[in-house]
Amino acid sequence: LHVDLDRAEALTATADWLADRLDDLTAKARSLRATANVLYFKRDYEQAAATYERSVAAYAEAGAELDDVLEQR
């Protein structure tokens, strides 16, 4: 498995910027989840867990049920 983590990190930063610009909580939650995945693959587990928790909170704020979020995997 080859993953370009630098490119993935740049893409998640762009997604995060766009979600903020659109003021879209669901998009923000998704960008945070993607960022958490990149951090996990970079072995920054503590920051990945914290970012994932921010993603879960954003999904909840957007009104998404956890079951719906898990089905998106």
Q: Please give the pLDDT value at position 70.
A: 59
pLDDT digits (tens, 9 = 90+) for 29-68: 999 999 999 999 999 999 999 999 999 999 998 887 655 6
Give the Cα separation of 7 and 25 in Å (integer).
Answer: 24
Q: What pTM was computed for the model?
A: 0.82
pLDDT of residue 63: 84
Cβ-Cβ contacts under 8 Å for 52 (sequence gap 6 or more): 32, 33, 36
Report how far residue 69's alpha carbon sits from residue 73's, in angstroms, rounded to the nearest whole number. Answer: 7
